[in-house]
């Protein structure tokens, strides 16, 4: 060990895990560049990683084809009773789940190094910071955690002799016998994969997968599933939200936090390049927001992560130039294709497919092949500090004050381009009923409406009815300081199936209207579903959009909205008596307005 660990509880836990998993050796990570380089060099030497000649200090990895995404059906929220986990989570009783997993963990690190990763979520000095210790047998995980969190000896120092930490245990579940050759991507079969959370103990156990959020336990496991339960107990918020600063030509700053389900343009909005003259955007976070009420009674948000773990396919200089500039160096690419001259490639990148590639299954791929070269969930891991429009305040310990919340989803019809809620309770209703029509990326029939409240369905670490209540409670505490709430739909189509709104940088026009609503510069028009832009209020300078398209984007079809109500009713019914009465009251109020 290169440093002293004064925290007795930590030393004992590491010893206990080592006795159970039986690794060949135990290594305490220090978070240094030398450590990162050493681990990467070793993975290049075994063939697990490919050094990308075209991108300084960047590497490509290919996962096992059975280990390519978050495994929702193998993700568990474990409480003493199923009621506490609620109807949207997979539940197994605490003792049963631990018994199963202890049997899997027994000797699971044999022949491997057990890495101990001390990490901080949020800047170490932030009042919102939480410290974690991830134990893993995957050097790939160590290197990704270096980028995604703040790893290092400073965390050990901050813990002192008795500081609290969140224990995160991970194993790829592939012990090695003496002389056995290691797989290039070791993992366990699907039926042995478990991503388990014990929120009452702030404890995470993951087994069998080496991929993404299943293995980088600071990400969704800690920052959302465990943190949401902690936030409820401690009176703050852990949300699946980007954080963005928008500055007007007059220099007025607005801070926006937005929640969208997958495939709804979250990363694009986080790194937006406004098309309206004089308006400027800065990125504060692309995925997760932790928010606390400050001394002035306002809600302050910080991004607890230090990196971006973004979906690669579809990312290009036309869709997200800032993301493309972020990944020029010091990045990890997983399940992307690799070019003969040592660069990466994926479907939807700016360049046409080369004649020949190595695809994500490590096979030769030739132009014209019917198979995708990159996996649809291929990822890049890149330091947030490299984003050209990262805000200078992105690591400000106290965070930034939130003015606006945005919810959204992917809807071809019914939902207008933008709607403001009448008040906080109505805004919570909007968030609770957020939904998207399924795309090819989701499981299920394409075009079905899937409710994803607050974009938190896979990430809420307790009964979602209680989570709705927590939003109402936070609104009560914030009172007049509560952020204003809006709902957007960039994806409305014409009856012929054409996109009505250009999206991307043009979404800044919608954000400008929201800011003007805050300033009282625009009045909006009241409809039964909320407040929409009145004629002429949306700044369309320099944008060619037909009046027909604009009318359709802003149309509120009362019959279509009435037809939505039974679906909302049956969704709410899932939560039984635990559903907040204030949410039922909002549904009834909407029903009356639509009548």
- CATH number for the domain spanning 364: value is 2.170.8.10
Residue 1 has a pLDDT of: 66
Judgement on whether residues 167 and 44 belong to the same structural domain of the protein? yes
Extract the runs of DSSP E, i.e. beta strands, from 312-421: 332-334, 337-339, 344-345, 356-358, 364-366, 379-383, 400-401, 404-408, 418-420
Judgement on whether residues 440 and 558 belong to the same structural domain of the protein? yes
Q: Which residue has the tokens 């910080």?
A: 302
Task: Tell me, yes or no, whether 2 lies in a domain.
Answer: no
Burial 230-257 (b: 16+ CB within 10 A, else e): bbbeeebbbbbbbbbbbbbeeeebbbbb
* Res 101 pLDDT > 90: yes
- CATH number for the domain spanning 189: value is 3.40.449.10
Asked if 70 and 192 count as a contact pair (C-beta separation under 8 A), the reply is no
Residues classed as catalytic: 264
Judgement on whether residues 95 and 25 belong to the same structural domain of the protein? yes
* Per-residue pLDDT band at 438 (split at 50, 70, 90): confident
Provide the token pair at 482.
């509560």
Provide the token pair at 477.
């505490």
Judgement on whether residues 103 and 91 belong to the same structural domain of the protein? yes
Judgement on whether residues 157 and 257 belong to the same structural domain of the protein? no
- CATH number for the domain spanning 275: value is 3.90.228.20
Integer Cα distance of 533 and 531 in angstroms:
7
Altogether, the residues listed in the chain come to a count of 595
Judgement on whether residues 430 and 517 belong to the same structural domain of the protein? yes
Task: Tell me, yes or no, whether 60 lies in a domain.
Answer: no
Q: Rounded mean pLDDT of 549-569?
A: 97
* Res 530 pLDDT > 60: yes
Integer Cα distance of 140 and 49 in angstroms:
9
Integer Cα distance of 75 and 69 in angstroms:
12
Among 359, 372, 469, 486, which residue's Cα sits nearest to residue 430? 486
* Res 8 pLDDT > 50: yes
Residue 3 has a pLDDT of: 86
* Per-residue pLDDT band at 80 (split at 50, 70, 90): very high
Judgement on whether residues 196 and 182 belong to the same structural domain of the protein? yes
Q: Rounded mean pLDDT of 194-198?
A: 98
Over the stretch 347-399, which tens digit does the pLDDT of each residue have?
999 999 999 999 999 999 999 999 999 999 999 999 999 999 999 999 999 99
Integer Cα distance of 416 and 554 in angstroms:
5
In this prediction, what percent of the chain has a pLDDT beyond 90? 96
* Per-residue pLDDT band at 443 (split at 50, 70, 90): very low
Which pTM does this prediction carry? 0.97
Residue 439 has a pLDDT of: 55
* Res 442 pLDDT > 60: no
Enumerate residues 6+ apart whose C-beta is below 8 A from 334.
60, 61, 62, 63, 211, 212, 378, 379, 380, 381
C-alpha distances in angstroms, 447 versus 454, 493, 503, 567, 594?
Answer: 20, 13, 20, 15, 25
**Local structure of 225: helix, strand or coil:** helix
Could you give the maximum distance between any two Cα atoms of the chain, in Å? 74
Q: Rounded mean pLDDT of 506-516?
A: 98
Q: Which residue has the tokens 């019959």?
A: 559
Compute CA 523 distance to the chain's CA centroid, rounded to the nearest angstrom. 34
Judgement on whether residues 78 and 223 belong to the same structural domain of the protein? yes
Task: Tell me, yes or no, whether 555 lies in a domain.
Answer: yes
| Edge-to-edge strand ranges of the sheet holding 404-408 | 280-285, 242-247, 253-259, 404-408, 484-488, 418-420, 530-532, 525-527
In this prediction, what percent of the chain has a pLDDT beyond 70? 98
Judgement on whether residues 314 and 300 belong to the same structural domain of the protein? no
From 74-78, 206-210, 233-237, 443-447, the region with the lowest mean pLDDT:
443-447
* Res 175 pLDDT > 90: yes
* Res 444 pLDDT > 60: no
**Local structure of 394: helix, strand or coil:** coil
From 19-23, 328-332, 373-377, 446-450, the region with the lowest mean pLDDT:
446-450
Task: Tell me, yes or no, whether 442 lies in a domain.
Answer: yes
Domain with 272, as residue range(s), is: 239-304+393-594
Task: Tell me, yes or no, whether 561 lies in a domain.
Answer: yes
Q: Rounded mean pLDDT of 21-33?
A: 98
Greater confidence, 448 or 314?
314
Residue 448 has a pLDDT of: 82
Q: Rounded mean pLDDT of 123-147?
A: 98
Judgement on whether residues 230 and 243 belong to the same structural domain of the protein? no
Domain boundary among 234, 263, 285: 234
H or E element that contains 246: strand 242-247
Domain boundary among 187, 205, 234: 234
Residue 441 has a pLDDT of: 44
Task: Tell me, yes or no, whether 1 lies in a domain.
Answer: no
Q: What is the mean pLDDT of the chain?
A: 96
| Edge-to-edge strand ranges of the sheet holding 289-293 | 237-239, 289-293, 299-302, 400-401
DSSP string, 288-341: -EEEEE-TTS-EEEE---SEEEEE-TT--TTT-HHHHHHTTSS-EEES-EEETT
Judgement on whether residues 246 and 224 belong to the same structural domain of the protein? no
How many Cβ atoms are within 10 Å of 550's Cβ, its own excluded?
18
Task: Tell me, yes or no, whether 327 lies in a domain.
Answer: yes
Domain boundary among 386, 417, 432: 386
What are the two backbone dihedrals, phi and then psi, of residue 194, each rounded to the nearest 5 degrees? -140, 125
Judgement on whether residues 558 and 413 belong to the same structural domain of the protein? yes
Enumerate residues 6+ apart whose C-beta is below 8 A from 281.
244, 245, 246, 247, 271, 272, 273, 274, 389, 508
Question: Environment class of residue 542 by beta-carbon count within 10 Å: exposed (0-12), middle (13-18) or buried (19+)?
Answer: exposed
Number of domains in the chain: 3
Q: Which residue has the tokens 């020949």?
A: 356
Task: Tell me, yes or no, whether 466 lies in a domain.
Answer: yes
């Amino acid at each position: 060990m290169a440093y002293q660990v004064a925290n007795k509880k930590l030393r004992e836990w590491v010893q206990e895990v080592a006795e159970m998993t039986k690794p060949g050796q135990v290594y305490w990570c220090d978070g240094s560049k030398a450590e990162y380089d050493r681990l990467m060099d070793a993975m290049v030497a075994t063939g697990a990683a490919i050094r990308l000649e075209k991108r300084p200090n960047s590497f490509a990895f290919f996962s096992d084809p059975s280990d390519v995404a978050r495994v929702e059906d193998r993700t568990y929220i474990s409480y003493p009773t199923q009621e506490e986990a609620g109807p949207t989570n997979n539940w197994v009783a605490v003792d049963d789940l631990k018994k199963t997993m202890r049997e899997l963990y027994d000797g699971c690190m044999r022949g491997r190094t057990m890495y101990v990763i001390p990490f901080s979520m949020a800047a170490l000095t932030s009042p919102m910071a939480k410290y974690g210790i991830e134990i893993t047998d995957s050097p790939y995980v160590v290197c990704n955690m270096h980028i995604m969190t703040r790893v290092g000896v400073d965390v050990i120092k901050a813990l002192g002799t008795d500081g609290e930490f969140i224990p995160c245990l991970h194993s790829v579940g592939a012990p090695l016998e003496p002389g056995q050759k290691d797989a290039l991507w070791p993992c366990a079969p699907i039926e042995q994969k478990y991503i388990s959370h014990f929120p009452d103990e702030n404890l995470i156990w993951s087994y069998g997968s080496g991929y993404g959020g299943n293995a980088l336990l600071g990400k969704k496991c800690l920052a959302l599933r465990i943190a949401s339960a902690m936030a409820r107990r401690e009176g703050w918020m852990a949300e699946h939200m980007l954080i963005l600063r928008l500055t007007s030509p007059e220099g007025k700053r607005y801070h926006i936090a937005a929640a969208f389900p997958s495939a709804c343009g979250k990363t694009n909005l986080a790194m937006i390049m406004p098309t309206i003259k004089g308006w400027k955007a800065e990125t504060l976070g692309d995925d997760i927001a932790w928010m606390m009420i400050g001394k002035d009674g306002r809600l302050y948000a910080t991004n607890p992560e230090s990196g971006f773990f973004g979906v690669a396919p579809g990312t290009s200089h036309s869709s997200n130039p800032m993301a493309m500039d972020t990944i020029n160096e010091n990045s990890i690419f997983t399940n992307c294709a690799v070019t003969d001259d040592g660069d990466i490639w994926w479907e939807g990148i700016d360049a046409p497919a080369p004649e020949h590639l190595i695809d994500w299954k490590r096979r030769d791929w030739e132009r014209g092949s019917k198979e995708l070269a990159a996996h649809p969930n291929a990822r890049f891991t890149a330091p947030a500090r490299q984003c050209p429009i990262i805000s200078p305040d992105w690591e400000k310990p106290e965070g930034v004050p939130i003015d606006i919340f945005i919810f959204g989803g992917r809807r071809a019809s019914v939902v207008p381009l933008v709607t403001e809620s009448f008040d906080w309770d109505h805004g919570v209703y909007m968030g609770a009923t957020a939904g998207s029509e399924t795309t090819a990326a989701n499981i299920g029939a394409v075009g079905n409406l899937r409710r994803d409240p607050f974009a938190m369905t896979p990430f809420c670490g307790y009964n979602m009815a209680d989570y709705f209540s927590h939003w109402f409670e936070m609104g009560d505490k914030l009172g007049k300081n509560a952020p204003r709430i809006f709902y957007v739909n960039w994806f409305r189509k014409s009856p012929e199936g054409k996109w009505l709104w250009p999206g991307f940088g043009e979404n800044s026009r919608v954000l400008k209207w929201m800011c003007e609503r805050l300033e009282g510069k625009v009045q909006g028009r009241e409809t039964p579903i909320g407040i929409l832009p009145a004629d002429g209020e949306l700044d369309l300078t320099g944008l060619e959009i037909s009046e027909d398209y604009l009318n359709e984007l802003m149309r509120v079809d009362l019959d279509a909205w009435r037809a939505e109500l039974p679906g909302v009713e049956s969704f709410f019914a899932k939560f039984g008596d635990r559903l907040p009465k204030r949410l039922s009251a909002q549904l009834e109020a909407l029903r009356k307005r639509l009548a």
